[in-house]
Chains A and B, each alone.
Chain A
Amino acid sequence: MEIDPFIFRLSIFILSIFVGYYVVWSVTPSLHTPLMSVTNAISSVIIVGAIIAALSGSDGVVFSSSSIYGFLAIILAAVNIFGGFLVTQRMLAMYKKKKKDK
């Protein structure tokens, strides 16, 4: 009997939870705020679903009842991607080591 592809995806999912578990425990507590903003940004990779949804309108119809939700989701996810990565960048730039008054 052939294995359902779902099982493969489930395996990836479960293993990723474990990877996440160990990787996040190694994050230094002082960087927990950037951790939240960057996880925010990467979870917006949901934009791939939004793009597929937005381009689903066929035969020259750009805005159909289903693609409109895709376009809305693109805006939301894009706010998050740009906002999330940039604000993380801004925060991390402040964590530079300063040795001037030592």
Chain B
Amino acid sequence: MSANLSAILYLVSGVLFILALRGLSSPETSRQGNLFGIIGMVIAVSVTFLSVGNFTSGFIYVLIFLAIGGSIGAFIAYRIPMTAMPELVAGFHSLVGLAAVFVAISAFINPAAFNLGTPGNIKLASLIEMAIGAAVGAITFSGSVIAFLKLQGIMSGAPITFKGQHLLNALLLVLIVILTIYLCSNQSTNLFWILIAVSFLIGFLIIIPIGGADMPVVISMLNSYSGWAAAGIGFTLENTALIITGALVGSSGAILSYIMCKGMNRSFFNVILGGFGATDQTSGSQSKEQRPVKSGNADDAAFLMKNASSVIIVPGYGMAVAQAQHALREMVDTLKKNDIKVSYAIHPVAGRMPGHMNVLLAEANVPYDEVFELEEINNDFANADVAFVIGANDVTNPVAKTDPQSPIYGMPVLDVEKCKSVLFVKRSLSPGYAGIDNDLFYKENTLMLFADAKKMTEDITKNL
């Protein structure tokens, strides 16, 4: 296959990838978009086979390895529960990162196969691109592995910080630049290995100080990194499909990180340099004396809801942990039978990754046109009779609007307290991730339901 023809076909698959993302602008077109993505991938892989044109025994092995990887991937995709999507995505990011590292290593050892020169005499530009691809790939890999371990609960979600952490990270980054410069001048294999090792270390160090609830930002950031790594390799291979895709994924991840940061009213650097838990703000809340709380049971909750004409559900990560989404949908079905209007309010950072709650609700067969984003629904709380907060906490805290001293001041929150009554399902009065008390607990119109989210929801349904 001629080089020009394959370049054009790579461009076609790049365009198909753009259409794949474009399709996600609405649920109706999204499935078609995914199909475009698959076609783009098939084109890219076929063109690569045809342009290498080396149908020897190696080709059979390529197909075998492709089949092995493909069946592992398919198996995971069908088995993974929707609550585990954040872990899955983090795990997948790590694979992209590692694949980028492997391709870079292979290109470094055998540059002739990629038309980049001979070992020890690689074109300067290619070498720089290769080094960037390998470094970003390695950072993505180790960072994603840590994110995966934290999300999976194998590693504590608490931020791990130590003195001089930021200085160390900065020094290591400088070291990477120096190593790349040296690598360009003497093309030493050892330097290349050291460069990769240092990058692995940086990825590890960047993610360990970030706390569990900042994971939406971390996952989006790693998403972005995996794109830049792919783009770096794309430049090395002079491959348009890879360059386009890398740029798309890179900017997609960056936008998602931005949206997540905005949802928490924090700067990107603030998140990266260490979570809420790392700063000391417990002093203020501890001096407060115990305030009275109204608590109720499923009976009371059912009574309140039965007499309501509109109910807004506010789900959060706790709902995912308790696997309460199906029980919740059943409760809502019962409410609807009683002619009660029900809608769902989703905060941008609810859950452990962007859009996490939406997927869980979709899994429980909640029609997506009943699910609303913060800006769409926030004015409706004032007219609603009951707000049912299940597994969310900090995103409902009115302190963010009233107390400039609070660490979450300025964060956009759902105006839950404006409802006539608030039902708050929670196991205890313990503060949320931000480590601060939720004023909502002590409001006149709040009824606390202390129980496991799933059990409480089921009990309410029985009592309706």
Is the CB–CB distance between B253 and A9 below 8 Å? no
Is the CB–CB distance between B355 and A37 below 8 Å? no
Specify which chain B residues have a CB less than 8 angstroms from the CB of A23 in the assembled complex.
18, 21-22, 248
Which listed residue, B20, B68, B77, B235, touches A87 by the CB 8 Å rule?
A: B77
What does the 1/0 interface line of A27-42 toward B look like (CB < 8 Å)? 1111111111111111
What does the 1/0 interface line of A79-102 toward B look like (CB < 8 Å)? 111111111111111111111010
Binds A, one of B97-105, B151-159, B268-276, B293-301: B97-105
What does the 1/0 interface line of A48-90 toward B look like (CB < 8 Å)? 1111111111001011111101111111111111111111111
Is the CB–CB distance between B107 and A53 below 8 Å? yes
**Which of chain B's residues has its CB closest to A27's CB?**
B24
Interface-central residue, B17, B252, B259, by most chain A CB under 10 Å: B252
Chain A: number of interface residues, binned into ranges: 35 or more
C-alpha spacing A70/B57, complex, angstroms? 15
Interface of chain B residues 50 through 100 with chain A (CB within 8 A)? 52, 54, 56-59, 61-62, 65-74, 76-78, 80, 82, 85, 88-89, 92-93, 95-96, 98-100
Contact flag A19-B18 (CB < 8 Å), given A46-B100, A73-B106: yes
Specify which chain B residues have a CB less than 8 angstroms from the CB of A62 in the assembled complex.
56-58, 61
Is the CB–CB distance between A33 and B354 below 8 Å? yes
C-alpha spacing A70/B101, complex, angstroms? 10
Is the CB–CB distance between B103 and A36 below 8 Å? no
Is the CB–CB distance between A67 and B358 below 8 Å? no
Chain B: number of interface residues, binned into ranges: 35 or more
Is the CB–CB distance between B72 and A79 below 8 Å? yes
C-alpha spacing A28/B20, complex, angstroms? 14
Which listed residue, A34, A60, A74, touches B62 by the CB 8 Å rule?
A: A74
Query: Interface on chain B toward A: helix, strand, loop, or mixed SS?
Result: helix
Minimum Cβ distance to chain A for residue B404 (Å): 28
C-alpha spacing A36/B220, complex, angstroms? 8
Is the CB–CB distance between B99 and A77 below 8 Å? yes
Specify which chain B residues have a CB less than 8 angstroms from the CB of A32 in the assembled complex.
256, 259, 353-355, 358
C-alpha spacing A14/B113, complex, angstroms? 27
Is the CB–CB distance between A60 and B110 below 8 Å? no
Cβ of B145 under 8 Å from chain A: no
Contact flag A89-B96 (CB < 8 Å), given A12-B243, A23-B22, A36-B353: no
Contact flag A97-B219 (CB < 8 Å), given A9-B238, A49-B242, A66-B106: no
Specify which chain A residues have a CB less than 8 angstroms from the CB of B178 in the assembled complex.
none
Cβ of B438 under 8 Å from chain A: no
What does the 1/0 interface line of B333-370 toward A look like (CB < 8 Å)? 10010000000001010000111101100110101110
C-alpha spacing A30/B41, complex, angstroms? 25
Is the CB–CB distance between A83 and B98 below 8 Å? no
Specify which chain B residues have a CB less than 8 angstroms from the CB of A24 in the assembled complex.
21, 248, 251-252, 255-256
Is the CB–CB distance between A98 and B241 below 8 Å? no
Interface positions of B (Cβ within 8 A of A): 10, 13-14, 17-18, 20-22, 24-28, 30-31, 33-34, 37-38, 40-41, 44-45, 47-49, 52, 54, 56-59, 61-62, 65-74, 76-78, 80, 82, 85, 88-89, 92-93, 95-96, 98-100, 102-103, 105-107, 109-110, 112-114, 125, 219-220, 223, 226-227, 230-231, 233-253, 255-256, 259, 333, 336, 346, 348, 353-356, 358-359, 362-363, 365, 367-369, 371, 373
Contacts A/B (CB < 8 Å), 29 sampled: A6-B125, A9-B235, A20-B18, A31-B358, A32-B259, A34-B355, A35-B355, A37-B92, A38-B34, A39-B227, A43-B245, A45-B17, A46-B233, A50-B103, A51-B45, A53-B107, A56-B110, A66-B105, A69-B105, A73-B98, A81-B69, A82-B73, A82-B74, A85-B34, A91-B85, A91-B362, A92-B30, A95-B30, A97-B367
